[in-house]
Amino acid sequence: MIEVANLCDSSYLYGVYLVNKRLNELSEKLSDAVVKSADIEEEIPFGNNYFDIVFCTETLEHLKNADRCLQEIKRVTTNNGWIVITVPNGTGYWPFFYLDRIIPSQWLRRRLLPYEHPLNADQPIDTCYRYKEIIKLICRNGLLIEKIEGWRYFCYLQMFPLTRDIYKIFYPFVEFFLAKIKMERFAYNLFFLCRKA
């Protein structure tokens, strides 16, 4: 939210956080912003069709009911408004994501599987969505995906010293090329630009 404030200084900013510590930090840094404490799985404390743009970044994977959150986001977004969603993508760890049960040690699992994977996660809720699951989640809640971007391909190559050093050389090209040929399904981080359907 601070980055958005720096980019869009003429905008009115609103935020919703469940964690009071983060809420207080934002209130101090962004004195003009309206930041409210609420559980986004229940009700976002704003009226229908209230916002022109809503950001939901790296949040859905931490919710018990991501559908409810997306329905609330849709409710508070104007009919011509935009919804920006970012979410980690388990398919970005292909093929290891599908071979999880045969990876022999915790040390290897920490490197070959995403942080959100059930064999790695240490948070109470950390859902490791696959690419198709993310698309279905967004669409079944009445949102139309206008654009998808991906970044951070082959993250697991950065987890080992030798491959990390080699991959650093090719990383910019890999990121550019795979985005160019629309291979975002294999990116670890996904960006969705959506509208109400």
More confident residue, 141 or 113: 141
Split at pLDDT 50, 70, 90, the class of 8 is low
- In tens, the pLDDT along 21-37 reads 666 777 677 767 777 77
pTM of the entire predicted model? 0.85
Section 171-192 average pLDDT: 95
Q: Which residues have C-beta within 8 Å of that of residue 112, sequence separation ≥ 6?
A: 93, 96, 103, 156, 159
Section 36-54 average pLDDT: 88
pLDDT exceeds 80 at position 56:
yes
User: Between the ranges 14-18, 127-131, 144-148, where is the mean pLDDT highest?
Assistant: 144-148
Split at pLDDT 50, 70, 90, the class of 1 is low
pLDDT value at position 5? 60
More confident residue, 72 or 13: 72
Q: Is 191 within 8 Å of 150 (Cβ atoms)?
A: yes
- Domain ranges in the chain? 38-196
Exposed, middle or buried, 87 (CB in 10 Å: 0-12/13-18/19+)?
buried
Distance from C-alpha of 71 to C-alpha of 89, rounded to nearest angstrom: 21
Exposed, middle or buried, 3 (CB in 10 Å: 0-12/13-18/19+)?
exposed
- Percentage of the chain beyond pLDDT 90 is 51
Architecture of domain 38-196: 3-Layer(aba) Sandwich (3.40)
- In tens, the pLDDT along 62-115 reads 888 999 999 999 999 999 999 999 999 999 988 888 888 888 888 888 888 887
Q: How many CB atoms lie within 10 A of CB 9?
A: 9
